Amino acid sequence: MTPPMLEVRGLTRRFGGLAALSEVSVRVPAGRTLGVIGPNGSGKSTLINVVTGHLKPTSGTVLINGRDLTGARPWTVAKAGVGRTFQVVKPFRGMSVRENVMVAATYGAHGRTAADAAGLATDVLARVGLAGQAGRAPAELSVADARRLELARALALEPRLLFLDEVLAGLRPAEIDPALDLIRALAAEGVTIVVVEHVVRAIVEVSDEVLVLHEGKVLTSGPPDRVMADPRVIEAYLGHRYARRGGA
């Protein structure tokens, strides 16, 4: 039987007395998209960081395509075909946008030559809508374009499993639909995607399944429509969001 592309079992990560993640278990079959939502501080980024090797778990297991990568280093996880974006963008500042993407292209799982990496960088930059900014320095980019660069760097790894950490943050409403189209296109190509997002509409539109975190624990999971209609989710997540926006 084919293993899930991602399987997390009983994953816990403590920071001192705080359990940022507590006994979280989830399976994402190959080619599916999992949306992860939850209030600020509920453990979403910690989940990504532990799975991608940027944080060690306190306990629990991480299997990627059936392979135990619990506590592996980021490099090893990337080589296993896992790409990610960071909530706080971290490009190499001394390189152009294009060079940043080329570095990622050579670093990926596929051991590419410089010429191949250049070709792939061109494709990926066009795909995320950054072809016109390729020669610029990352510091010159708008917030939205800096997020596109993050996405381009993750895509240049040609991941089989892709973690998107709030890639829609800072985008204008008109920019959200093209971003969702891109996520759907990647899914249609067979990429398994875990998308963390505060834009609930986006999660509902792209996810096959939604996982709701609350105070580091799984509150519920299931098909988007069912999860969004769950009174506990409305209370824990939507209520919180609406409260923050002053009831809007």
Ligand X SMILES: Nc1ncnc2c1ncn2[C@@H]1O[C@H](COP(=O)(O)OP(=O)(O)OP(=O)(O)O)[C@@H](O)[C@H]1O
Which helix H or strand E contains 227, and what residues bound it?
helix 224-228
Q: Which is nearer to ligand X, 20 or 124 (CB)?
A: 20
- Least CB distance from residue 218 to ligand X, whole Å? 13
Q: Is 113 in the site for ligand X (CB under 6 A)?
A: no
d(CA 138, CA 197): 23
| CB of 139 vs ligand X, minimal distance in Å | 23
Chain-centroid distance of CA 83 in Å reads: 8
Closer to ligand X by CB, 158 or 165: give it.
165
Q: CB-wise, 183 or 236, nearer to ligand X?
A: 236
Q: How far is the CB of 163 from ligand X (least distance, A)?
A: 12
The smaller minimum CB distance to ligand X, of residues 56 and 73, is found at: 56
Task: Indicate the Cα dihedral angle 32, 212, 24, 21, nearest 10°.
Answer: 130
Contact flags string 180-219 toward ligand X, x per CB under 6 A: ----------------------------------------
> How many Cβ atoms from other residues are within 10 Å of residue 140's Cβ?
12
Which DSSP string do the residues of 131-148 spell out, in sequence order?
Answer: GGGTTS-GGGS-HHHHHH
The Cα–Cα gap between 42 and 21 comes to: 8
Interacting positions 13-52 with ligand X (CB under 6 A): 15, 18, 20, 38, 40-46
| CA Rg value for the chain | 18
Q: Which is nearer to ligand X, 46 or 192 (CB)?
A: 46
The one-letter amino acid code at 32 reads R
- Residue 6 and residue 195: Cα distance in Å, rounded? 13
In eight-state DSSP terms, residue 188 is: H
> What's the min distance (Å) between Cβ of 38 and ligand X?
5
Q: How far is the CB of 43 from ligand X (least distance, A)?
A: 4
The encoded tokens of residue 75 equal: 């490099």
Q: Please, what is the minimum distance in Å from the beta carbon of residue 52 to ligand X? A: 13
- 45/133 with CB nearer ligand X: 45
Residues that bind ligand X (CB under 6 A): 15, 18, 20, 38, 40-46
